[in-house]
Structure 1
């Protein structure tokens, strides 16, 4: 990478021509390989009795792993989870972009009176603290697997496959009085589980409620016909602002954090 003033220029040379190349002050040298990896390594975690690290040929699919997994009595094989570093990196990039847009929206809000300007300043400070907390969150990089074609999913080096453990609990998080785990009972609705945890907090109002299935899929609570053991109910905080862009931005970020990192941040 040649640097000339404020400009940068990339040059690529084969390693055989390296002895004849001159480096200058400010240049950056990167040595890379053109060869593709012949194998990949994946980890298998959770409730199983087999190997926890597998080396597979490049281009292997999920079938190659599932055929080697040795399930035990607690393995929940119909909710296999896949975590991918490249997906986590992309989720982090999208989160940072959303946070940047939120900060810009809060700082660019117009005020017509001194009182309104004071309120805008307080809101901007609140959002700044929220953004600082959100930037520390690390997405999990979970890939939602479709049970109908799970065998054909291509694997990447560094993938982590988790076999969930069977459970009889439903977790309730977020804007409820007493976030807790509740034993699953057939016929109980989302509202029933929330009531078991003391109900919604006063500030939650018409909060958005999502259900995270054990395989990582996120569903709006109103679209859930029945809950299953291992489900997680997440009651997201509700924030209202006169600035529509701020309200929309916060709602989007809260959803991203809940789905991508299984985290609920309060403002």
Structure 2
């Protein structure tokens, strides 16, 4: 039985090697796309212009966080209200996401006008000493001792000192200094109606902003309310109109003092357009009229520079429609209520950025045309012949790493399903299954954290395949080394000096020998060019990595075949062994 399992695993492993590892090389030197070792060794000695590829040296700086959120940080989507009908939030909805209504300051702006009930302090010194706090009466007067009534209603707070001082100096003309200060302002009661969350009556002071009152009312209703048509009514007459887009885009908010019984009316939402795709502001935008053109919408949505086409989906009198326009044509297209606009980058990149890593001279990044092949790039790279291992060039490719990751994840999912859905015929077997499930969960949790390298083997026996380059490729040119790396299930993983007369077993013995979990029959040798040999018995070469894989105890694990398969996949994809 054990022999049958070994044969099965061996066949399975051969299949995995063919599917996970990408092998690209040819055995004959007569192929036109071959680059011989002799040609590779000429790299860096000459610099020739490429007839069919343009390469420009360039330096790139990566984003500091690559889109990773810091602890405690919230995304914009988490701060905005969620639409009940599946639409993105309206532009400006985050105006009411903060808690500033509880942080108001009872201060006065300089344009506040004095009203009945306000308290004013007055000091006189010099020929006469007098101080008092006076309340503005219902007729708008301050009654000052020995001076009489002074009418101050509708006087601005910034002008109050000069205005009252002049009235007092009509009585005390010489040798008297005067100081006047507004202490408090009379609270006002403002009604909020229309499309807000909590319409009703709210108290504040006259100088509070309209944003303060709207926030007290829960903000504008995202589905019904207008951000562009807000009116302040006084005795049923419109005294102020406000467009919050002016505030969000330009920082403009009109100065306005409220009075008792003023009404803030948030009108019904006007025509809207939903924007998505390659834009800085993917929101629902509102028009002031029934329609607007694409150029007007672009001022709000701020499409990215790479946008080339725009898709529009909507309804008209003659029925539903869908169009896909170049961006220039979209600027004059008339949009209407309910349209959906998708900004798209539909022009494929004509230039790739390729990174060089390992042993090389000169820049580490090159910008190349999309039709550039590997040989064209290698001809531009300078290397030190005495330090570079020309025979072992390989590529790390994101698309290959992603595919390897997908295959490992699929294998882990199948393993979990097979363990947790397996029936148990007795209590003893159920206990064994539960213990096995616990170990499987620990194993899959660790295995999912492994990130494949995405190695593409392109060199063998002194020849390098002239493959097509892809965006984000990393061309790795290994340095010559005199070391052998020994890792995995050995007692002392370490680097050892290469000895041409030593075998795999010798290096493992020098690394302390096998660990208790070592699989003596599954030893992987990873060559500098990315090729992998299983159970290699032949001679090693400097730069090889010896990886001893762990074994799975068949007495404990019923799913030994699946676990062993995943261990092989991870070892091949990421050059690591997972216990």
Match of 1:199 among 513, 521, 524: 513
Displacement, 1:138? 1.1
Please state whether the residue corresponding to 2:550 is helix, strand or coil.
coil
Q: Could you list the per-position Cα deviations for residues 200-239 of structure 1 after superposition, in whole angstroms to 9, with x for gaps in the alignment?
A: 12332544111000011111123x4210111001111100
Structure 2 residue runs of 5 or longer lacking an equivalent are 1-84, 87-312, 314-321
TM-score normalized by the length of structure 1: 0.86
> Where has structure 1 moved over 4 Å in runs of 4 or more?
16-24, 242-245
* Matched residue, 2:489: 175
- Count of aligned pairs between the two proteins: 254
* Residue 247 in structure 1 maps to residue 557 in structure 2: no
Q: Deviations over 1:182-206 (max 9, x none)?
A: 1110121111111111211233254
* Structure holding more helix per residue: 1
Q: Which residue among 321, 325, 335 is the counterpart of 1:15? A: 325
Q: Which range moved further: 33-42 or 47-56?
A: 33-42
Contact 1:62 1:155 in 2 (8 A): yes
Tell me the SS of whatever aligns to 1:45: strand
> In 2 relative to 1, CA 95–23 (structure 1 residues): closer, same or farther, beyond 3 Å?
farther
**Cα distance change of structure 1 residues 225 and 112 upon mapping to structure 2, 3 Å threshold:** same
Residue of 79, 88, 107 corresponding to 2:392: 79
Q: In structure 2, how many angstroms separate the alpha carbons of the residues matched to 1:92 and 1:61?
A: 26
Whole-angstrom distance in 2 between the partners of 1:59 and 1:75: 27
Aligned twin of 1:90: 403
Cα distance, 1:249 vs structure 2: 1.4
Greater gyration radius: 2
Over 3 Å counting, the alpha-carbon distance change for 1:31 and 1:164 in structure 2 is: same
Match of residue 8 from structure 1:
none
Deviates more, 1:129-138 or 1:110-119: 110-119
The reply to whether residue 142 of structure 1 matches residue 455 of structure 2 is yes
Q: SS state of the match for residue 464, structure 2?
A: helix
More strand by percentage: 2
Compute the RMSD of aligned alpha carbons: 2.5
- Give the TM-score normalised by structure 2: 0.41
Q: Offset at 1:81? A: 2.0
Aligned to 1:228: 541
- Unaligned residue ranges in structure 1 (runs of 5+): 6-10
Counterparts of 2:567 and 2:466 in 1: how far apart (Å)? Answer: 32
1 or 2 for the larger relative contact order (CA 8 Å, sep ≥6)? 1
Q: Distance in 2 between matches of 1:23 and 1:174?
A: 61
